[in-house]
Amino acid sequence: MPTWATNLSALNDQIASIFSAIVSETGDQLVGAWTREAQLALKSSTSYIHHISTKEISPTHVRVSNDHPAALFLELGVDPFDMKKSLATSPKVRIGKKGQRYLIIPFDHPLQRIVAEGHVAPEELSELAPSKWLTRGQNVSAHQYEWGDALTDMGNVGKKRKYWSAYTGPMARFDKRGFDTGAHGTIDYTWKTSPFERIYRFVDSHGKTTSFTAFRTISSKSEPDAWIHPGIRAMRIAGTAVEQVRPQFNARVSDAIKRTLRDALGAK
C-alpha cells in the first residue's frame, strides 16, 4: 500500500476517533442543557428530568431522548380540547347504575401550594388519617383504595374562573395532527368547588406521605364548559437546549478537523 494511502487511512481513523469523543461529550452537554431548561420552564421538573436518557447508537451517533408521557405535549403544545371526549375512549371508564359513563380523575396538589393558596396549616394536613392504594396481592381483586380522612369545609378557597377564546380562526379547533379537538367558541366558566375540597393524604407501605390527592368526576352530565382543557403552550424545552449546544458542537468539530489536517500536513 502506498505511503499516502496508509497515511490517509490513519488520518480517517484519527478523525473518526476525535469525532466520536466530541459526539459523546456533546450528548452529555445536551443532557445538562435540557435539564436546566426543564428546571426553568416547569414548576415541577423532577419526573420529567428523570426520563431524559442517552443511548449510543454507534461511535458517532448518540441519541438523547425523553420518554416522559408529557414530553411531546410540552414540546409542541396542545390546542384546547374537551376532556369529556375521554368518556368514549378511556379504558378506565366506569358505568353508573343508570348506565351513565363516568371517569374519576385524580389531582395531586403539592403541600406548598395547599398551604400557600388554601391557607391550611401543615400540621392539619399531616394529621389527616392516611389513605393508601391497595393492589392485587393484598387480597383485593382490582386497584382499590383504603380511605382515611379528607380535608373539608374549604368553601370558595382557590376557586377560579376560566375565561379564554378557544379558537381564533376556522381551523384552530383542529390539533397539529388534524384531529378535531371539539373545543371552540369562548369559554367562561367558574369552578363549582374549591380545588382543595376533599383532599386525601396518601401514604406508602411505610407510612410515608406520597401525595395529597383530590378526586373529581367527569360524566355525560357534566356542564359543557366544565372540562374544557385550555391546552398546553409549546415550551420547546428540548429545542431550546439543542440550539444552545449546536454552535458549540459545530465549532468543536470544525476546529478538530482543521487541527488534525494541519498536523497531518505538517503545517504551522
Whole-number average pLDDT of the chain: 85
- Using only C-alpha atoms, the chain has a radius of gyration, in whole angstroms, of 27
Write down the H helix ranges in 42-140.
46-50, 71-76, 111-118, 122-126
- Residue 180 CA to residue 84 CA, distance in Å, equals 14
Residue 262: its pLDDT value, please? 80
- pLDDT level of residue 219 (50, 70, 90 thresholds): very high
Place of cell 439543542: 242
Q: Is 198 exposed, middle or buried (0-12, 13-18, 19+ CB in 10 A)?
A: middle
What does pTM read for this prediction?
Answer: 0.61
101-108 vs 94-95, strand pairing mode = antiparallel
- pLDDT, one tens digit per residue, over 20-61 is 899 999 999 999 999 999 999 998 899 999 999 999 999 889
Whether 153 has a pLDDT exceeding 50, the answer reads yes
Whether 92 has a pLDDT exceeding 50, the answer reads yes
Cα torsion angle, 84, 89, 94, 100, sign:
positive
Residue 176: its pLDDT value, please? 52
Place of cell 380522612: 149
- Residue 34 CA to residue 42 CA, distance in Å, equals 12
Whether 183 has a pLDDT exceeding 80, the answer reads no
pLDDT (average), residues 166-178: 50
- Residue 268 CA to residue 260 CA, distance in Å, equals 12
Residue 53: its pLDDT value, please? 95
Whether 179 has a pLDDT exceeding 60, the answer reads no
Residue 166: its pLDDT value, please? 57
pLDDT (average), residues 215-232: 88
Whether 12 has a pLDDT exceeding 50, the answer reads yes
Residue 61: its pLDDT value, please? 92
- Residue 118 CA to residue 182 CA, distance in Å, equals 33
